[in-house]
């Protein structure tokens, strides 16, 4: 009887099990430690766990897709790629936290580290669920951990404000997603995404189009919130500003990547073939809706960023704009949908992580979150200033950096599918973005320093900056190679239901 349990190939879930185990272990160790003890050892433990999970994730590449736990959990290359991104991002955030999350500010250090891990776990579940229920559980695990993390500096008003706004708006968006899912279930009678797709096709034949669209658009509202695209962006600046800098980095990088994985999985896994087989209208409607989201994000993100004087608020609006760019391949269903999205998300991960790390250091040094904190950085710490310049160049999309080729491939998607207006908006807003990115560069190089002395860069942060910088430059020099690597991934497996590879029926 027990053999049924062992029939499953549990090693496919090794990354998730490692992270879940590590989070539990960390919380127990934290409880056993003394209140005043330095808990940075927990960060190292978490770091090791993330690296272990990363190893198992990467070693799984190229194998057959596999479904486990009654076909609710699906390990395919699509999920693995996103998991690799999430794990890398979290590892780097943990490394930064080692220096940045000081006891003075974050009294609940133990909680900080294992909530990062549970949030990561939620993100990982999101990337490889094939079932609406597991998807939602993953989403909530990610969101609820993030809410607490945003407010972890509990003596600070702005941190509390951030957490409060995040909880309320996040709850509303989750409700939208859940309401959309309920219509899918109502139409299909199943929560399995791929079975639901087939049954919704039948429902559409029976004149249920309006409900199919209703479910899709309700979920789109929620997804728009989770990936921080306009017009669902109102929470972003306040939360990014109020949360501690490493947490902001986590939200901007890991949360957003996971939300994109969710969005792509649900839209392509649940609706693409449905619309393809039934009606061109549906596809057109979906494309238009997504393009409007993308265009609005680019315009609002890039123009409002012009008027921001706080580093993290500026980066928040920049992150809204980047969400807009990243939406384009999905919206246009371009020829390189997966490759260009993942390439852009990788580039975005590296440059945003790097930029936020520098911002954290500079803020700590100057004691202010204003852009003026960067004044004269080139004289006080030339290397940091140079690294920040590279990140900003990449963020604004100037060659030869990862950000440039990311935007370039996205543009190809838009042009190849004849969506010229979105390409035009993208180019125009990119030019606008130069103003605020180079505002920081100008601060660093052409303004006299306000403070005296060198800026101290902690070793772990220096390492993260170096990794991010090398990644940004290397991806920018060898984009073709990176794209070929991504092209070898079995993306198609994410789109269709799986037969074979499933555990034997009892």
Partner 1 sequence: MDYAESYVIVTVFILLGVALPVAALTMGRLLRPHQPTTDKGISYESGVDPTGDSWIQFNVRYYLFALLFVIFDVETVFLYPWAVAYNDLRTDVGLFILVEMLIFVFFLVIGLLYAWKKKVLEWT
- According to DSSP, the β-strands at 66-68 and 73-75 are antiparallel
Per rule CB under 8 A, is residue 186 in the interface with partner 1? Answer: yes
Instruction: Pick one of 55, 164, 179, 211: the residue that binds partner 1 (CB under 8 A).
Output: 211
Per rule CB under 8 A, is residue 41 in the interface with partner 1? Answer: no
Segment interacting with partner 1, rule: CB under 8 A, options 201-209, 394-402, 430-438, 443-451: 201-209
**370 secondary structure, DSSP code:** B
What's the min distance (Å) between Cβ of 45 and partner 1? 16
- Which three-class secondary structure state does DSSP give residue 131? strand
What's the min distance (Å) between Cβ of 316 and partner 1? 32
Instruction: Pick one of 169, 208, 398, 498: the residue that binds partner 1 (CB under 8 A).
Output: 208
Q: Pick the closer one to partner 1 by CB: 204 or 423.
A: 204
Q: Pick the closer one to partner 1 by CB: 31 or 280.
A: 31
What's the min distance (Å) between Cβ of 4 and partner 1? 5
Per rule CB under 8 A, is residue 305 in the interface with partner 1? Answer: no
Segment interacting with partner 1, rule: CB under 8 A, options 27-35, 137-145, 192-200, 492-500: 27-35
Contact status, residue 288 vs residue 218, Cβ threshold 8 Å:
no
Q: Pick the closer one to partner 1 by CB: 214 or 462.
A: 214
**The tokens 């310049």 sit on which residue?**
389
What's the min distance (Å) between Cβ of 28 and partner 1? 6
- Cα–Cα distance for residue pair 120/50, rounded to 1 Å: 9
Provide the angle, in degrees to the nearest 10, between the axes of the packed helices 40-59 and 14-32: 170
Read out DSSP for 422-470? HHHHHHHHHHHHHHHHHHHHHHHHHS--SS-SPPP--HHHHHHHHHHHH
Per rule CB under 8 A, is residue 3 in the interface with partner 1? Answer: yes
Per rule CB under 8 A, is residue 2 in the interface with partner 1? Answer: yes
- Which three-class secondary structure state does DSSP give residue 129? strand
What residues numbered 347-406 form the site for partner 1, per CB under 8 A?
none
Q: Pick the closer one to partner 1 by CB: 448 or 504.
A: 504
Helix intervals (H) in 333-401: 337-366, 377-380, 382-396
By CB under 8 A, how many residues form the interface with partner 1?
Answer: 17
- Cα–Cα distance for residue pair 344/327, rounded to 1 Å: 10
Per rule CB under 8 A, is residue 478 in the interface with partner 1? Answer: no
- Cα–Cα distance for residue pair 8/201, rounded to 1 Å: 31
What's the min distance (Å) between Cβ of 463 and partner 1? 32
Per rule CB under 8 A, is residue 337 in the interface with partner 1? Answer: no
Per rule CB under 8 A, is residue 28 in the interface with partner 1? Answer: yes
- Cα–Cα distance for residue pair 482/488, rounded to 1 Å: 10
Nearest to 66 by CA among 505, 498, 506: 498
- Which three-class secondary structure state does DSSP give residue 192? strand
Nearest to 312 by CA among 266, 274, 364, 271: 364
Q: Pick the closer one to partner 1 by CB: 140 or 415.
A: 140
Q: Pick the closer one to partner 1 by CB: 27 or 490.
A: 27
Q: How many CB atoms lie within 10 A of CB 416?
A: 12
Segment interacting with partner 1, rule: CB under 8 A, options 22-30, 82-90, 166-174, 292-300: 22-30
**The tokens 């990337």 sit on which residue?**
127
> CA-CA distances (angstroms) from residue 502 to 8, 16, 488, 499?
9, 19, 23, 7
Q: Pick the closer one to partner 1 by CB: 186 or 399.
A: 186
Instruction: Pick one of 31, 418, 448, 453: the residue that binds partner 1 (CB under 8 A).
Output: 31
Instruction: Pick one of 5, 418, 448, 505: the residue that binds partner 1 (CB under 8 A).
Output: 5
Query: Helix, strand, coil proportions of the chain in percent (round to 5)?
Result: 75, 0, 20
What's the min distance (Å) between Cβ of 3 and partner 1? 7
What residues numbered 244-273 form the site for partner 1, per CB under 8 A?
none
Per rule CB under 8 A, is residue 1 in the interface with partner 1? Answer: yes
Site string for partner 1, 127-166 (x = CB under 8 A): ----------------------------------------
- Residue 310 pairs in a beta bridge with 370
Residues in the chain, total: 506
Segment interacting with partner 1, rule: CB under 8 A, options 129-137, 170-178, 203-211, 465-473: 203-211
Query: Environment class of residue 468 by beta-carbon count within 10 Å: exposed (0-12), middle (13-18) or buried (19+)?
Result: buried
Which residues of this chain interact with partner 1, rule CB under 8 A?
1-5, 24, 27-28, 31, 186-187, 203, 206, 208, 210-211, 506
């Amino acid at each position: 009887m027990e053999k049924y349990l062992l029939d499953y190939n549990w090693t496919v879930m090794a990354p998730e099990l490692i992270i879940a185990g590590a989070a539990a272990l960390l919380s127990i160790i934290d409880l056993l430690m003394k209140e005043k003890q330095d808990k940075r050892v927990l960060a190292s433990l978490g770091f090791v766990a993330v690296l272990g999970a990363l190893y198992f994730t990467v070693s799984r590449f190229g194998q057959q897709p596999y479904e486990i736990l009654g076909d609710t959990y699906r390990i395919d290359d699509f999920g693995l790629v996103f998991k690799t991104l999430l794990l890398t991002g979290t590892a780097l955030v943990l490394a930064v936290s080692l220096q940045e999350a000081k006891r003075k500010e974050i009294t609940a250090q133990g909680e900080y580290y294992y909530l990062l891990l549970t949030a990561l776990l939620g993100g990982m579940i999101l990337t490889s669920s094939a079932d609406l229920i597991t998807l939602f559980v993953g989403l909530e695990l990610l969101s609820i951990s993030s809410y607490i993390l945003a407010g972890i500096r509990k003596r600070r008003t702005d941190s509390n404000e951030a957490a409060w706004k995040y909880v309320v708006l996040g709850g509303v968006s989750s409700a939208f997603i859940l309401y959309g899912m309920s219509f899918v279930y109502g139409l299909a009678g199943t929560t399995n995404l791929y079975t639901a797709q087939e049954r919704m096709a039948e429902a559409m034949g029976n004149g249920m189009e309006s409900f199919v669209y209703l479910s899709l658009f309700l979920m789109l509202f929620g997804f728009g919130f989770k990936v921080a695209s306009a017009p669902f962006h109102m929470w972003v600046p306040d939360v990014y500003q109020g949360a501690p800098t490493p947490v902001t980095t986590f939200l901007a990088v890991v949360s957003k990547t996971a939300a994109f994985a969710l969005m792509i999985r649900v839209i392509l896994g649940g609706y693409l073939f449905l619309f393809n087989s039934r009606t061109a209208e549906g596809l057109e409607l979906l494309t238009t809706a997504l393009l409007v989201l993308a265009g609005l994000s680019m315009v609002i993100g890039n123009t409002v960023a012009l008027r921001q004087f706080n580093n993290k608020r500026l980066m928040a609006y920049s992150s809204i704009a980047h969400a807009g760019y990243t939406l384009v391949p999905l919206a246009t269903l371009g020829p390189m949908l997966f490759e260009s999205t993942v390439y852009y998300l990788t580039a975005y991960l590296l440059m945003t992580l790097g930029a936020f790390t520098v911002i954290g250091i500079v803020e700590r040094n100057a004691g202010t979150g204003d852009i003026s904190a960067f004044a004269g950085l080139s004289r006080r710490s030339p290397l940091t200033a140079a690294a920040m310049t590279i990140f900003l160049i990449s963020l604004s999309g100037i060659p030869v950096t990862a950000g440039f080729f990311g935007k370039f491939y996205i543009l190809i998607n838009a042009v190849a599918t004849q969506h010229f207006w979105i390409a035009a908006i993208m180019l125009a807003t990119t030019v606008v973005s130069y103003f605020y990115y180079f505002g920081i560069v100008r601060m660093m190089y052409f303004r006299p320093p306000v403070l005296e002395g060198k800026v101290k860069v902690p070793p772990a942060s220096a390492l993260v900056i170096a990794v991010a910088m090398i990644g940004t430059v290397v991806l920018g020099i060898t984009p073709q190679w990176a794209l070929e690597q991504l092209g070898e991934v079995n993306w198609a497996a994410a789109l269709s239901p799986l037969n074979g590879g499933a555990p034997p029926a009892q």
